[in-house]
C-alpha cells in the first residue's frame, strides 16, 4: 500500500516543464499524451534526466490511486536500476492506469478489475507468487514447442504476401503475431477469425491513450468512455468463452492457458482464480501480439533503409539456413541476426515507458519525492543516451560486437524482478519471422513515404507501414525521401 501519511511538499527545486497562465498543468498532460517521446525528449535535453511534468506537481497520468501529488519523467541507467531493484518502493499498476480507479463505479465498469491487469496489477509477495505460477509456461521446453507453431504460421502468412504491389506491413505483422499468440496461448490457430479479437484488443489499447477516454471518464452514450466499456465487455465475454472451452477439454493440453489453469504452488496450494486468469491472459495476449508485431514492423522498416545491414544479414541467413526455417540451435549460430534485433529494439523501443508509483517517500537523483508520485521511466531515452551508445540515432548492429551494456542500460524488456516474463519467447518469435521472411522477400518503401510514431503503451507507425514486396534478389536500396517523426528517432 502507498503511505497514508500526510503528503510531503513537492520539491521546489525539481526541474519542471513550463505551465501557461490559466491552463495549469493540463496543457502539459495533453502534450505528453499526444507525443510522449518528443515532449519528454525536449525536457530531458533542457533539464537533464529527471523532470516534473508541471511545476509544483498536480498532474496524474498513470496512477489509479485517489491522491497523486504529481508526475515525474526520468531516464538513464541509475533511474532504471533504482526502480527495478526496489520492488517494494516502486509499485506497478494495471495498464489501464487512471481508469482502473473507476472499476467499482457501476456494474458496467467491473471489467476494469481484470482488463490488462496480470502481473502489472500485483505487487510484493503476490507478484512473486503469480510469477512463479506462470513460469512453467515459458520454460525452455515450451519455447521449443512454440517454435514449431511459429514456423508453420509464418510459412502460411508468407504465402499471402502480395508481390509488386503496395501493402501494409504493420497489418500483416499484426495478423501473423495474433495467430502465433492464439496458437501458443490457447492451443489453436484462430486464423483469419482471430482477426476480430485482435482488432478488438487493438481498439482497446488505442482507447487507453485517448484523451477523450482519459479526460471524460463518464459512462454516457456517445462518449468515448462509454464505447470503451462496451468493448471491454465484448472482450471479456470472448475471453470467458475461451477459458471455459479450455477447462472442458478432456485431454490435458500444453498451451499457455492450459498450463495457467493447471498451475498450483507446491508449497501453498495457490492457484489462479477466474478473475486472475482473465487479467493474465489479457496481458499475455496483448504483449505477445501487439508488442512483437510492432518490433517486427520497425525492424523491417530499418532494414529497408539500411541496405548494407540488410545485405549482410541476408548473407548470414542464407549461409546458415539455406532457405529453411531456423531451429533454436541455428538461431544461436547467427550472431548478426541477434545484433540486428537488439539494435532495432534499442533504437525504436516498442514499449518505451515503464510506469511506477511510489509506495513511500523516496529520493531519486537527489530529489525528495512524496509518496504517491508517479514515475514514468523512459526506456527509449535511456537507449538514446550518447554516453551509453555513441551516435545513438544511428542504426548500427555492428556496435553489439564491441559493447556489453548492463541490465539497466539496455532494457527493451525492463529489468529486475519485473523483467518481461515472455522476453525469450518474443526474441525467438521475432528472429524466426525475420529469418523466414527475409530469405523469401525484399521489402521496399515507396518514395515520399511519411512515417510518424504513434502510441504510448506500444510504439507503432501511425497509419501503418506501406511497403512493396519483391522476390528476394539482394538488391537492397534505401528510400531517401522518407519523412515524418521517425527521422527524429533514426538518422539515415
- Assess whether pLDDT exceeds 90 at residue 6: no
- Assess whether pLDDT exceeds 50 at residue 4: no
**Nearest residue to 434 via CA among 349, 348, 330, 357:** 330
Grid coordinates in use for 467? 511497403
Residue 161 pLDDT class (50, 70, 90 cuts): very high
Domain boundaries, the chain: 26-489
Is the pTM higher than 0.85? The answer reads: yes
Write the pLDDT tens digit of every residue in 405-440: 999 999 999 999 999 999 999 999 999 999 999 999
Q: What is the pLDDT of residue 7?
A: 59
Q: What is the pLDDT of residue 481?
A: 86
The answer to which of 243-247, 261-265, 358-362 has the lowest mean pLDDT is 243-247
Residue 442: which H helix or E strand, with range? strand 441-445
Query: For the residues 305-316, what does the mean pLDDT come to?
Result: 98
DSSP letters spanning 183-230: HHHHSS--GGGHHHHHHHHHHHHHHHT-HHHHH-----TTSHHHHHHH
Query: Which residues, listed in sequence order, are joined to residue 74 by a DSSP beta bridge?
Result: 50, 377
Query: For the residues 18-47, what does the mean pLDDT come to?
Result: 89
- Assess whether pLDDT exceeds 50 at residue 3: no
Average pLDDT, the chain: 92
Q: What is the pLDDT of residue 5?
A: 47
Decide which of 368 and 457 is more confident.
368
**Nearest residue to 71 via CA among 380, 370, 475:** 370
The upper half-sphere exposure of residue 433, i.e. CA atoms within 13 Å in the direction of its Cβ, equals 30
- Assess whether pLDDT exceeds 80 at residue 96: yes
Residue 195 pLDDT class (50, 70, 90 cuts): low
Fold for 26-489, please state it.
Cytochrome p450 (1.10.630)
In 332-454, which ranges are continuous DSSP H helix? 335-347, 379-383, 423-440
C-alpha to C-alpha distance for 372 and 175, rounded to whole angstroms: 39
Q: Which residue has the cell 542500460?
A: 409
* Residue 454 CB neighbours (<10 A): 15
Query: Which residues, listed in sequence order, are joined to residue 206 by a DSSP beta bridge?
Result: none
* Residue 235 CB neighbours (<10 A): 22
Name residues whose C-beta falls within 8 Å of residue 355's C-beta, 6 or more positions apart in sequence. 62, 92, 93, 97, 374, 375, 376, 377
Using a 10 angstrom Cβ sphere, with 0-12 exposed, 13-18 middle and 19 or more buried, the burial of residue 81 is middle
Amino acid at each position: 500500500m502507498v503511505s497514508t501519511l500526510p503528503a510531503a511538499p513537492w520539491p521546489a527545486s525539481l526541474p519542471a516543464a513550463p505551465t501557461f497562465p490559466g491552463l495549469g498543468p493540463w496543457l502539459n498532460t495533453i502534450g505528453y499524451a499526444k507525443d510522449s517521446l518528443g515532449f519528454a525528449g525536449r525536457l530531458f535535453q533542457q533539464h537533464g534526466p529527471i523532470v516534473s511534468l508541471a511545476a509544483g506537481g498536480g498532474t496524474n497520468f498513470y496512477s489509479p490511486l485517489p491522491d497523486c501529488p504529481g508526475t515525474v519523467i526520468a531516464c538513464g541507467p541509475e533511474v532504471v536500476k533504482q526502480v527495478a531493484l526496489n520492488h517494494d518502493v516502486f509499485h506497478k499498476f494495471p495498464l489501464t492506469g487512471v481508469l482502473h480507479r473507476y472499476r467499482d463505479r457501476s456494474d458496467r465498469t467491473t471489467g476494469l478489475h481484470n482488463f490488462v491487469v496480470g502481473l502489472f496489477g500485483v505487487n510484493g509477495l503476490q507478484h512473486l507468487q503469480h510469477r512463479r505460477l506462470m513460469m512453467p509456461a515459458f520454460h525452455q521446453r515450451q519455447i521449443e514447442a512454440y517454435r514449431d507453431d511459429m514456423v508453420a504460421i509464418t510459412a502460411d502468412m508468407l504465402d499471402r504476401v502480395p508481390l509488386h504491389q503496395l501493402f501494409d506491413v504493420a497489418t500483416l505483422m499484426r495478423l501473423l503475431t495474433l495467430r502465433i499468440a492464439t496458437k501458443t496461448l490457447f492451443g489453436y490457430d484462430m486464423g483469419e477469425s482471430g482477426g476480430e479479437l485482435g482488432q478488438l484488443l487493438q481498439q482497446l489499447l488505442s482507447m487507453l491513450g485517448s484523451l477523450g477516454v482519459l479526460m471524460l471518464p463518464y459512462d454516457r452514450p456517445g462518449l468515448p468512455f462509454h464505447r470503451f466499456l462496451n468493448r471491454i465487455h465484448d472482450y471479456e465475454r470472448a475471453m470467458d468463452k475461451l477459458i471455459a472451452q479450455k477447462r472442458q477439454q478432456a485431454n490435458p493440453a500444453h498451451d499457455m492457458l492450459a498450463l495457467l489453469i493447471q498451475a498450483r504452488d507446491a508449497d501453498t496450494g495457490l492457484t489462479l482464480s477466474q478473475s486472475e486468469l482473465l487479467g493474465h491472459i489479457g496481458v499475455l495476449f496483448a504483449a505477445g501480439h501487439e508488442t512483437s508485431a510492432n518490433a517486427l514492423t520497425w525492424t523491417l522498416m530499418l532494414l529497408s533503409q539500411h541496405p548494407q545491414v540488410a545485405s549482410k544479414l541476408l548473407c548470414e541467413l542464407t549461409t546458415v539456413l539455406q532457405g529453411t526455417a531456423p531451429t533454436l540451435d541455428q538461431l544461436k549460430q547467427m550472431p548478426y541476426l541477434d545484433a540486428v534485433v537488439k539494435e532495432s529494439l534499442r533504437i525504436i523501443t516498442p514499449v518505451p515507458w515503464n510506469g511506477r508509483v511510489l509506495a513511500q517517500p523516496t529520493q531519486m537523483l537527489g530529489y525528495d519525492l512524496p509518496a504517491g508520485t508517479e514515475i514514468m521511466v523512459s526506456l527509449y531515452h535511456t537507449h538514446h543516451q550518447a554516453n551509453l551508445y555513441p551516435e545513438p540515432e544511428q542504426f548500427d548492429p555492428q556496435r553489439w560486437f564491441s559493447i556489453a551494456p548492463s541490465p539497466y542500460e539496455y532494457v527493451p524488456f525492463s529489468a529486475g524482478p519485473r523483467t518481461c516474463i515472455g522476453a525469450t519467447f518474443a526474441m525467438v518469435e521475432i528472429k524466426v519471422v525475420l529469418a523466414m521472411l527475409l530469405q523469401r522477400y525484399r521489402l521496399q518503401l515507396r518514395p515520399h513515404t511519411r512515417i510518424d510514431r504513434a502510441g504510448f503503451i506500444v510504439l507503432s507507425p501511425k497509419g501503418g507501414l506501406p511497403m512493396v514486396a519483391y522476390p528476394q534478389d539482394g538488391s537492397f536500396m534505401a528510400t531517401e525521401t522518407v519523412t515524418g517523426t521517425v527521422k527524429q528517432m533514426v538518422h539515415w
